[in-house]
Amino acid sequence: MAELHLSLHAAEKMRSRGVSLSEVEQCVWKPDVTYGNEHGEVRQCGSIAVGVRVIEGGDVVVRTVLLRHTEQWTDEQARNRSREASR
């Protein structure tokens, strides 16, 4: 069975954002949404997202942990998102 590994960065972000290991495990093994590219994947569960990299043998390295604080975009976020999309 594949194993979960936390980077030091991910562990620090978990602590600072108050996200538990069980919440991270839920996102890794049973995500609501998964998307990514050649650099890795993002797996989301509710307001938590984890940036992961699948390595040899199917093990998963959690590289970062994100926590969404709001369901709405600010005007500035929308403008920035629009600029990024037009590139």
d(CA 43, CA 46): 10
Structure confidence at residue 25 (pLDDT): 96
Question: Is the pLDDT reported for residue 29 higher than 70?
Answer: yes
What are the boundaries of each domain within the chain?
4-85
pLDDT at residue 71, as a whole number: 60
Selected from 3.30.1490, 1.20.1530, 3.30.2310, 1.10.1670, the CATH number assigned to the domain covering 4-85 reads 3.30.2310
Q: What's the whole-model pTM score?
A: 0.74
How does pLDDT run across 6-27, given as a tens digit for each residue?
999 999 999 999 999 999 999 9
Per-residue pLDDT, 1 = 81
For 40-83, write each residue's pLDDT tens digit: 999 999 999 999 999 988 999 999 999 887 666 677 777 776 66
Separation of alpha carbons 5 and 15, rounded Å: 16
